[in-house]
């Protein structure tokens, strides 16, 4: 098999799983708005649904990141997707908030475990000169998943209910499991595993050892800022539109338009990342996200809301693409999945706090303007961490 065919096959197999993950997270933001009406949820309860999902993702990123450095990237891929798809299907039959929350935790574990391991596997399997571009293209499947989520939510939820949306979201994941049986594991991992047997505790300690402490600090701040703002803002987007006076169907329509802007966000980063480097791309797109968040929070007219919502999607998802390309490049193969998983896990704490904070502030009658200003500041802090603590890894061979 030629290198190009092998790379493309890996990209599609990993990307399909990524797409289905995104579809679930995307549908959750629409389902939140539907559940609020059906179950009469308070703002705090809605915040908890998003936060329990992130608690699961934090646990999953840590546990499965550690496991991927022990048993391999491929095996963890399959385990996490099974966990996520079964949980997603079962959650369609939840009749109480408690059951729904428990299932969201397990779905979150699968999601949180899969994403850093997928980017690690792809990073280790493509040449240095195109590694960043290919990982960003992997991340671009996330936009496809959100787009599918928006379409399913727009056409299915109002007519057939949120349960049908979740069932549809669970079915395609089984296809990705079939594909992953044919997925080769990372040759770099196999070589390292053959040469050396390491304990989980040694791997954890090495992530914070002197050679890697600076980039670990940078990554943890960056991941926290990006995840905190993303889940705080995007899980609440349809609900924020409803709060601004639009109907549920209209809010779905506007969020669908905003979601389309994710694709050029990813593709522009895929083009730039091997040209101007990881640091420059991250800083530009984080600053763009912060400014878009500020103006979205202040927007009053439909035109302003949709424009700055689209810019928010463009810059924020572009930054995500660069983040997933940048993270595995900070560590050698023996601790790569552990380091990426630990950074993602710490970031997911932000994903727990973001939706909860919005729920609390909405209940306290704090304006949308002030809420989005908080996210604006958080993203600027992430950009400063990259500027002062980050190192450039463009086209460098992985250790």
Enter the tokens of residue 341.
Answer: 């998983």
Mean pLDDT of 131-148: 87
Q: How far is CA 305 from the centre of its chain?
A: 23
Q: What is the pLDDT of residues 83-103, one digit of tens each?
A: 888 898 899 999 889 999 999
Lowest mean pLDDT among 27-36, 56-65, 179-188, 360-369: 179-188
CB atoms within 10 A of CB 74: 20
Mean pLDDT of 317-329: 92
Q: What is the pLDDT of residues 237-264, one digit of tens each?
A: 767 777 777 766 666 677 777 778 888 9
Domain boundaries, the chain: 3-389
pLDDT computed for residue 103 by the predictor: 94
Mean pLDDT of 263-273: 92
Q: What is the pLDDT of residues 41-83, one digit of tens each?
A: 887 788 788 778 888 989 999 999 999 998 888 889 888 888 8
pLDDT computed for residue 316 by the predictor: 93
Mean pLDDT of 15-42: 84
d(CA 225, CA 89): 31
pLDDT computed for residue 367 by the predictor: 84
Name residues whose C-beta falls within 8 Å of residue 315's C-beta, 6 or more positions apart in sequence.
265, 285, 286, 288, 289, 292
Enter the tokens of residue 112.
Answer: 């949180």
Question: By the 8 A CB rule, do 286 and 386 touch?
Answer: yes
Mean pLDDT of 126-137: 87
Mean pLDDT of 348-367: 85
Q: What is the pLDDT of residues 176-234, one digit of tens each?
A: 777 677 777 778 888 877 666 778 889 999 999 999 999 999 999 999 999 999 888 87
Q: End-to-end CA distance of the chain, in Å?
A: 25
Please tell me which residue, 291 or 352, carries the higher pLDDT value: 291
Mean pLDDT of the chain: 86
CB atoms within 10 A of CB 363: 12
Enter the tokens of residue 64.
Answer: 């499965």
- Percent of the chain beyond pLDDT 70? 94
- Percent of the chain beyond pLDDT 90? 34
Burial 145-161 (b: 16+ CB within 10 A, else e): bbbbbbebbeebbeeee
pLDDT computed for residue 381 by the predictor: 97
Lowest mean pLDDT among 111-120, 252-261, 371-380, 384-393: 252-261
Q: What is the CATH topology of the domain spanning 3-389?
A: Growth Hormone; Chain: A; (1.20.1250)
Mean pLDDT of 155-175: 83
Q: What is the pLDDT of residues 106-119, one digit of tens each?
A: 999 998 898 888 88
Q: What is the pLDDT of residues 277-301, one digit of tens each?
A: 999 999 999 999 999 999 988 887 8
Alpha-carbon Rg of the chain, whole angstroms? 20
Confidence band for 104, pLDDT divided at 50, 70 and 90: very high
pLDDT computed for residue 1 by the predictor: 44
pLDDT computed for residue 336 by the predictor: 92
Please tell me which residue, 377 or 5, carries the higher pLDDT value: 377
Burial 49-69 (b: 16+ CB within 10 A, else e): bbbbbbbbbbbbbbbbbbbbb
């Amino acid at each position: 098999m030629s290198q190009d065919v092998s790379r493309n096959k890996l990209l599609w197999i990993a990307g399909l799983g990524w797409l289905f993950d995104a579809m679930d997270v995307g549908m959750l933001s629409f389902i939140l708005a539907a559940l609020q009406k059906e179950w009469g949820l308070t703002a705090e309860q809605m915040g908890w649904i998003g936060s329990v999902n992130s608690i699961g993702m934090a646990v999953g990123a840590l546990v499965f990141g550690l496991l991927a450095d022990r048993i391999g990237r491929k095996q963890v891929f399959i385990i996490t997707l099974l966990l996520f798809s079964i949980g997603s299907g079962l959650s369609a039959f939840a009749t109480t908030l408690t059951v729904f929350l428990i299932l969201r935790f397990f779905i979150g574990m699968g999601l949180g475990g899969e994403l850093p391991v997928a980017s690690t596997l792809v990073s280790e399997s493509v040449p240095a000169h195109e590694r960043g571009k290919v990982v960003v293209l992997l991340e671009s499947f996330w936009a496809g998943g959100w787009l599918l989520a928006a379409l399913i939510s727009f056409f299915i939820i109002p007519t057939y209910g949120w349960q049908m949306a979740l069932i549809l979201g669970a079915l395609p994941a089984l296809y990705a499991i079939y594909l992953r049986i044919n997925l080769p594991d990372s040759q770099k991992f196999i070589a390292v595993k053959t040469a050396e047997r390491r304990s989980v505790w040694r791997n954890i300690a090495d992530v914070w050892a002197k050679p890697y402490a600076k980039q670990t600090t940078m990554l943890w701040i960056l991941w926290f800022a990006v995840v905190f703002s993303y889940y705080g803002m995007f899980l609440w987007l349809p609900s924020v539109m409803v709060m601004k006076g639009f109907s549920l169907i209209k809010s779905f329509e506007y969020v669908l338009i905003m979601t389309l802007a994710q694709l050029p966000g990813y593709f522009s980063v895929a083009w730039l990342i091997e040209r101007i480097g990881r640091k420059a791309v991250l800083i530009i797109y984080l600053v763009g996200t912060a400014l878009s968040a500020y103006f979205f929070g202040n927007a009053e007219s439909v035109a302003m809301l949709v424009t700055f919502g689209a810019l928010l999607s463009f810059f924020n998802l572009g930054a995500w693409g660069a983040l997933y390309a940048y993270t595995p490049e900070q560590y050698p193969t023996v601790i790569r999945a552990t380091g990426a998983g630990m950074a993602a896990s710490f970031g997911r704490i932000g994903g727990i706090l973001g939706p909860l904070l919005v729920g609390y502030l909405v209940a306290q009658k704090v304006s949308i303007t002030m809420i989005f200003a908080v996210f604006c500041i958080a993203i600027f802090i992430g950009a400063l961490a990259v500027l002062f603590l980050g190192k450039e890894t463009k086209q460098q061979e992985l250790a």
